[in-house]
Amino acid sequence: MSELPAAQTTRLVTWADQAIASGWLPDNALLSLESANKANPGQLFDQTDRPLVAGLFGGTGVGKSSLLNRLAGDPIARASAERPTSRDITVYVHRSVSVDRLPDSFPMQRMRTALHNNKDYQQVMFIDMPDFDSVEESNRELVDLWLPHLDVVMYVVSPERYRDDKGWQLLKRHVREHAWLFVINQWDRGHAAQRADFVAQLSAQGLDEPMVFCTDCRDPAHSPGSDPSQATDDFLALQRTLFALSDDQIVSHLQKHGVLARLQGLKTLSDSWLTPLGDAAGLATLNTRWSSFCENQHPDVIGAVQWPLQQVAHSHVDETPFWRRMLGSHTQRAPLDKDSLNTLSKTLNERLQILLEQFLNQQAYEQALPLAAIRKAVSVPHEKSLSFTRQHLEDALNSSLVSPGRPWRRKLYAFMGMLCLLMPLTSLVWISFRVISGFANGSGDPASYLGSNFAINGALLLGISWLLPALVHTRLQPSQQQAALEGLDQGIQHTLEQSEGKVDRSLTQLIQQAQQLRQDYQKLWADLPDDDSAALPEPVRQMLSAQTAQAQSRLLDVRANTHNSTDSAPLS
């Protein structure tokens, strides 16, 4: 279990890398995990049956080394009479215990090990840490390195320095990760009111009933080698508490408690990553908002491309004179004006890009969605869609020019074209028939000869039979310019539909991606072990922050149950 925080961090990094690659998280999102505490005491040992790791923590001159010497019964740590501040780590451990897995980052040159054969402390490893309030930065760094590897922090103060601000700041940062014992050393100079004030300060930090011991390690009667039974302070109670805490089951519970506290801190940091994923209800309406936005903005896009559209359509104006068209003389269709069509395509694409950017900015502002994620999801598909804009316009233009006008008009135009031929031919046949008949009958009947009136009337009939259908035929001829306008309008509408549809599908995938990321994140925290702080004896629970179990219960989705009990473990 000691490796769980590091393993969970690896899983979180994998999840975050995916979210970063998709644009949901900024590139520096992983920096927030650097402050997470992933180390724990179990990582120092290979064996599962390990000792309790208790660290003496305090400021300059409060007597940490003297307290350790008194606990050991030997002068193993150099007291302040020899040095004004503690600069090195002193490890007091039984010879049978092997500390096999010290992190590579530990400065071994500043670690001093004192081995002993005292069976009373066989299951306790004491760490005398440097003074946290030293002006030397390396001292504070050494404290930060060792602190995560402690089961129990023995916070040592003096009557004059129990309100030290630096100590309180460190206590606030790590209060949930350890069990805490508080020692007011040099109690011969203390007062009961100071102890009561100290207890009140600790309660404000979440330690409702802190275990506070008052000791006097400066009294010669309490020096190493003296009879402990003669102690007049709380030293014996402190010693019995340490013996009780070294019980294997309690060490196991404290290990688990510390791991869960570290996981809870890790989750608190990583939970902020869910905010950029947006609200599920808000994301669900993203497609609807896009459709509504397009409906409102498309008329403006169409209006913005009218000038280049007219330019393309104008190139298809039939400039053949009316009289020539009456005579059936038609010019060939004008070649496509590629420059004008390119201008139209470019202008339309630019307007659609602006429209999309406006929508993205609006959603990023109103829905608090990361602009990078939305842009990454829709930009490439949208740009790919716009790459076909010119082809859409040209295809629609050619299709419209091939079949200009309405179907009924094209049919009537063709019919009148036939009449332009049939009616003059019919008139000519009739006139020819009358001429031939008159010539045949003229030898017997002089009155059958046709005069000038017939010639005039016949010419008028022939002309009218051609002119009337030709005039109607000319008027019915579909306008190439109008056909070009209609074709380009259809091409623009098709482009708008393609653009809207492409973005709509991309937004659907974006929503699914956000939902999947949220589900994957929740799964990361769904299989963590239960917090079994309630199984600890009441005196041990007094050493834990009251906020820890509540936070773990609230933030961690519990799946496992713990069946071990330590109610029988002795504690004074």
pLDDT digits (tens, 9 = 90+) for 7-54: 888 899 999 999 999 888 988 888 878 767 667 788 788 777 888 999
In angstroms, the Cα distances linking 463 to 212, 221, 473 are 126, 145, 15
Q: Which residue has the higher pLDDT, 107 or 559?
A: 107
Q: Looking up tokens 């869960």, which residue turns up?
A: 260
Average pLDDT, the chain: 78
Q: How far apart are CA 429 and CA 465, in angstroms?
A: 12
User: What is the torsional sign of CA 443, 448, 452, 454?
Assistant: negative
In this model, does residue 306 exceed pLDDT 50? yes
Asked if 536 and 164 touch (Cβ cutoff 8 Å), the reply is no
In this model, does residue 559 exceed pLDDT 50? no
The DSSP output letter for 558 is: B
Helix or strand run (H / E) with residue 312: helix 306-314
Sequence-distant (6+) residues with CB within 8 A of 499 are 352, 356, 382, 385, 386
- Neighbouring CB atoms inside 10 A of 432's CB total 11
Q: What is the pLDDT of residues 154-188, one digit of tens each?
A: 999 999 888 876 777 777 777 777 888 999 998 88
In this model, does residue 443 exceed pLDDT 90? no
Highest-pLDDT range among 292-296, 431-435, 480-484: 292-296
- Neighbouring CB atoms inside 10 A of 216's CB total 22
Sequence-distant (6+) residues with CB within 8 A of 27 are 20
Amino acid at 77: A
Helix or strand run (H / E) with residue 92: strand 89-94
The pTM assigned to this predicted structure is 0.65
Range with the lowest mean pLDDT among 47-61, 211-225, 331-345, 457-471?
211-225
- Neighbouring CB atoms inside 10 A of 233's CB total 19
- List 93's β-bridge partners, or say none: 115
Q: What is the mean pLDDT of residues 209-230?
A: 68
Highest-pLDDT range among 105-109, 273-277, 385-389, 411-415: 385-389
User: What is the torsional sign of CA 376, 9, 109, 174?
Assistant: positive
- Check residue 79 and give its pLDDT: 52
In this model, does residue 485 exceed pLDDT 90? no
Amino acid at 451: G
The DSSP output letter for 162 is: T
Which residue, among 99, 89, 5, has the nearest Cα to 50 in the 3D structure? 99
Asked if 131 and 125 touch (Cβ cutoff 8 Å), the reply is no
Looking only at the bridges linking them, the beta strands covering 89-94 and 124-128 are: antiparallel
Q: How far apart are CA 124 and CA 54, in angstroms?
A: 7
In this model, does residue 511 exceed pLDDT 50? yes
- Show the CA angle centred on residue 348, arms to residues 371 and 377, nearest 5°: 25
Burial class (CB in 10 A: 0-12, 13-18, 19+), 18: middle
Query: Which ranges of 108-164 would DSSP assign to H, the alpha helix?
Result: 137-146
- Check residue 72 and give its pLDDT: 86
CA dihedral 14, 18, 23, 28 (to 10 degrees): 20
Q: How far apart are CA 59 and CA 190, in angstroms?
A: 17
63: left (phi over 0), alpha (psi -120 to 50) or beta: left
- List 94's β-bridge partners, or say none: 116
